[in-house]
Chain A
């Protein structure tokens, strides 16, 4: 039998998106070398394109791909003497049978090993992000480079250096012991969160949202949720991403104009995503103390559940920002709290809270500070000062959609 080539191509693309991390993680165990494993997995996907056309799409594509990739890996090892390399990756064999081996695949699920290795604290954040996109999401170096607006040679050098450090410094390919796991998972969550925020409002460029990055971040977070179902910080981050992304379709108007929360059509928010996010928030908030993500998600949930802008429970939002500031002290949290105070207690009180942050060195050059100030001044009728603040915010903003919004507000002041 010969399957429809278009259907086969779609099945391979789907398997690439769903199974890449699983297949690679299982193959690294055989090769003890990330580069060799990547090559073998790429070859397995290439083989799938022809073999699935001739023999049909297998019932368990991930298992088929893993078998092929691992067989190739064994061949490579046999013929090239790679096993005698002096820098094999340190694969710690599980002593007991791996409980995460669900039998459905027939291979142990090594994705947690792979992701904590990619996000090891001995690697810097840009390297962690690059490795995660490359090894967990299966993006090519060119795609990773595009996602972070750097040249391909720069990104290739970054990835090569990181892989070399893993091998030379002997970063072990293993799930850390329970005592260390929470801090290692924190690093993974920070990478996923960074991917999401970079995609949610791109720092520069024409589009407000980079849907590809948002979706990769969601996919990674769902994977972590499956691997660590009892971890409240994971539940908190997934809640935050799901609740924030539920508003994606309404964040810009048909003309590409930025729409504030106040102006968004709440009927078009994704209700199923909000229900999922709210349930996750409840679970995540049970941890003591709650994670920063759980609290950020709780704030997002207050907005998501408010039937209208006017019905927003700002007192609750201010209280949650207060707890967040204790768990995760940051001038950006203080800024957001001041904005919420401006809605809960009026713009004059909000402005006092905001102006207390004026000398915060971490907020120097942060465009949202003058933008928030401009809005409070506008609501207080202090037009000249508001105009100055909007102008300052424009100077500090590189995203085209956000710039149009600020320019529009500035023009409306004069009208």
Chain B
């Protein structure tokens, strides 16, 4: 088994404009997603949602503190899941079920050291 980080990138503006009903739906979709991971042959190790990039602070080179995200992009990192999967195909099958109606996800293998 190997670990993969599934990074969720979405358009924050669309969330900002979303109704409470939409938030409720998204929450429900994430609950359904979590419940379905094992059925795909993987294991959910963790996952969190992040506050929007308007709350981000960047620190460059250990000194320079600036207000805002490290890189300004239309679709910003808004959360992640960490999964254990036997191979990329399984990790991609999990990634396809991650709710991300205002964007998409990126799958990255976690580096192993020995």
Contacts and interface: CB of A to CB of B under 8 A. Distances in A.
A172 B112 contact: no
A171 B89 contact: yes
B44 interface: no
B76 interface: no
Contacts of A122: 88, 92
A157 interface: no
A170 interface: yes
A122 B96 CA distance: 13
Interface string B77-114: 00000000011110010000000000000010100101
Given A122-B92, A170-B2, A90 B87 contact: yes
A168 B88 CA distance: 9
Interface string A66-88: 00000000000000000000100
B109 A90 contact: no
B109 A168 contact: yes
Nearest to B85: A170
Interface string A89-110: 0100000000000000000000
A6 interface: no
Q: Give the size range of B's interface with the partner.
A: 10 to 19
A284 B80 CA distance: 44
A169 B112 CA distance: 11
Contact of B89 (A86, A168, A176): A176
* Residue in B89, B107, B112 with the greatest tally of chain A CB atoms within 10 Å: B89
A172 B88 contact: yes
B112 A170 contact: no
Nearest to B109: A169
Looking at chain B's contact residues, the main secondary structure is mixed
Contacts of A172: 86-89
Contacts of A168: 109
Contacts of A170: 2, 86-88, 109
A176 B92 CA distance: 13
Interface in A150-193: 168-172, 176, 180
Contacts of A120: 88
Contacts of B107: 169
* Residue in A86, A120, A168, A180 with the greatest tally of chain B CB atoms within 10 Å: A168
Nearest to A172: B87
Nearest to A121: B92
* Residue in A122, A169, A171, A180 with the greatest tally of chain B CB atoms within 10 Å: A169
A172 B109 CA distance: 14
Nearest to A122: B88
B74 to A, nearest CB: 21
Contacts of A171: 87-89
Nearest to A177: B89
A82 to B, nearest CB: 15
B7 to A, nearest CB: 14
* Residue in B88, B92, B107, B112 with the greatest tally of chain A CB atoms within 10 Å: B88
A169 B2 CA distance: 9
A120 B114 CA distance: 28
A86 B114 CA distance: 8
Contacts of B89: 171-172, 176, 180
Contacts of B114: 86
A86 B109 contact: no
Nearest to B87: A172
A15 B112 CA distance: 40
Contacts of A90: 86-87
Contacts of B109: 168-170
A168 B110 CA distance: 9
Contacts of B2: 170
A146 B77 CA distance: 40
A180 B88 CA distance: 14
Nearest to A184: B89
Nearest to B1: A170
Nearest to A168: B109
Nearest to A86: B114
Interface string A224-239: 0000000000000000
A86 B92 CA distance: 22
* For the complex of A and B, 9 pairs with smallest distance between CB atoms: A172-B87, A170-B87, A169-B88, A169-B109, A171-B88, A170-B88, A86-B114, A90-B87, A170-B2
Interface of A: 86, 90, 120, 122, 168-172, 176, 180
21 contacts: A86-B112, A90-B86, A90-B87, A120-B88, A122-B88, A122-B92, A168-B109, A169-B88, A169-B109, A170-B2, A170-B86, A170-B87, A170-B88, A170-B109, A171-B88, A171-B89, A172-B86, A172-B87, A172-B88, A172-B89, A180-B89
Given A168-B109, A169-B88, A172-B86, 18 more contacts: A86-B112, A86-B114, A90-B86, A90-B87, A120-B88, A122-B88, A122-B92, A169-B107, A169-B109, A170-B2, A170-B86, A170-B87, A170-B88, A171-B89, A172-B87, A172-B88, A176-B89, A180-B89
